[in-house]
Structures are given as structure tokens and as C-alpha cells.
Amino acid sequence: MAAKLSPPRILPSGDAAITVEFSRQIDDEANRRVLALDRLLAKTPIDGISETVPTYRSLLVHYDPVRIDFDTLGGKLAALAQQASTQDVVARRWRVPVTYGGEHGIDLEGTAKALNLSTEALISRHAAPTYRVAMIGFTPGWSYLSGLDPSLELTRRQTPRLLTPPGTISIGGVQTGIQCIAGPSGWHLLGRTPVRTYQLGRDPIFLLEPGDEVKLYAIDARQFAECERAAEHGEIVAELVAR
């Protein structure tokens, strides 16, 4: 018999949104339940819901309070959360190239020193896992990846940078991430990828989706430049290896 799932917390988020919270911390199983509920709502929509936004540990549900009230919707969401299955989901897997260190990853050496590792060991450990896309957020295409080797966990920088380059691959706390467009960051910059996880005018505009798997692999600066030129013209330079 399957273990009974703990019920999520149903929380108001203003007067037109509900947060369905499965955990109060970053947790892969909670994230799977978030995505399972999101999929179920897409298949069996509830009248009055206008948008859903999955995060690491909760699902934000926007709704029209004229069409459905908080208590009714909250009850429906709580019931569906117990029904949503995290099983039998075939994840897409992407191979994503990364150029580590040098001008592409200005924090690589300092991060390796802070972790008492060689730069080679840091690169090897960082590229080894199969990561999961837990959520997309902060800026368009910013992909938060779970599955970081615990030996690479590192607190964020005390002073965030106001601007970091597009394609940055970085770590912060228990996470690693793929930054698509230039923007601020307090994470440690290990490398860059030429892959655009978000690109207007391309089909698809967003490349990665929550629940996808990501394998990183190292390329040199020459290969980065070649892939960067291809990506500028709309080519998807990541490789889809499974779905």
C-alpha cells in the first residue's frame, strides 16, 4: 500500500491567488508533487483559474474571485494534490555544453579554493550529476537546477554583482543554475554556456521546462565561440538525448 501523502498548506496570496505549499524548504520530492499538481490542472482545468506558476516547493494559482471563491478553490486544490501522481513521468534530458573558468567563469579558482578542491576536481564534480530543472524564474529562462553535489554547496557572495553575463553557469547554496540573459547575481560564476534557454523569435522561445533533466559537459573556448555564433542565429546548441 502506498504511503499516505501529507496534505499541502493552502495559503492566500493576496485576494486573487492561492499558494499550494508542499514543503518549507528545497526538496526534490516536494518539487515533484508541485509539478504533478501543475500537470493535473493542465489536464483537468478548474473554472476560474487563470494561471499557475510552479516553484521549488509550492504552486502559485491565480484565479478570478468573481468566478470561484478562496474556500471552494482551496478545497479543490487540496483534493487534487492528493491525487496528482509523481510516477510514470518521462523526463526530457538535455546535454548542455559549458566552458569553465577563465573569462567565462571568473569565480572558478576562488570557488575551488573555498571548497578546498582543485579546479579540475570542481569541474568534474559539477558536471557529473544529472540535474533536474526545479523551476524557471527570476529572469526569463533562468533555470534553477537541483541535484548539486553536496560537497559543492557554498554560501552566496557577500556582495552580489550588479551585472553578470548571459549564459552564466553558477552555484549558490545547494543549487546550481543556468542564467539566460545578463543580470545581477550573488552566485559563484563557474562558467558559461552558449545555450539560450530563452530566445525571442525562436521556436520554442523557452528551451527548458520544469521537470527536464540536464547533463552538463565541458567544451573549450573555441567550441564556445562556434556554438555562440550558431545560437545567435536561433540554433538550439543543446542536445535533446531522451524524452
> Identity (one letter) of the amino acid at 52?
T
In order of 6, 24, 159, the CA distances from 154 in angstroms are 31, 20, 14
> 526569463: which residue's cell?
140
Query: Beta strands 188-192 and 49-54: pairing type?
Result: unpaired
Residue 232 backbone dihedrals phi, psi, to 5 degrees: -60, -30
Q: What's the confidence (pLDDT) of residue 2?
A: 45
Q: What's the confidence (pLDDT) of residue 84?
A: 86
> 523551476: which residue's cell?
135
List the domains of the chain with CATH numbers: 9-83 (3.30.1360.40), 93-242 (2.40.100.10)
Distance CA 195, CA 203 (A): 14
Give the pTM. 0.90
Distance CA 140, CA 138 (A): 7
Q: What's the confidence (pLDDT) of residue 137?
A: 92
Nearest CA to 143 out of 223, 56, 77 is that of: 56
Q: What's the confidence (pLDDT) of residue 163?
A: 95
E-strand ranges in the chain read 9-12, 17-21, 49-54, 58-63, 93-100, 131-136, 143-146, 161-164, 168-172, 175-178, 183-185, 188-192, 213-218, 239-242
> Identity (one letter) of the amino acid at 121?
A
Nearest CA to 36 out of 14, 59, 65, 19 is that of: 59
Element (H, E) at 109: helix 108-114
> 501529507: which residue's cell?
6
CB 22 within 8 A of CB 58: yes
> 576562488: which residue's cell?
110
Q: What's the confidence (pLDDT) of residue 64?
A: 98
Distance CA 32, CA 44 (A): 18
pLDDT in tens, the chain (243 residues): 345 678 999 999 999 999 999 999 888 899 999 999 999 999 999 999 999 999 999 999 999 999 999 999 999 999 999 998 887 677 899 999 999 999 999 999 999 999 999 999 999 999 999 999 999 999 999 999 999 999 999 999 999 999 999 999 999 999 999 999 999 999 999 999 999 999 998 999 999 999 999 999 999 999 999 999 999 999 999 999 977
Distance CA 129, CA 76 (A): 37
CB 141 within 8 A of CB 181: yes
Q: What's the confidence (pLDDT) of residue 4?
A: 62
Peptide bond between residue 204 and the one before it cis (omega within 30 degrees of 0): yes
Distance CA 55, CA 177 (A): 14
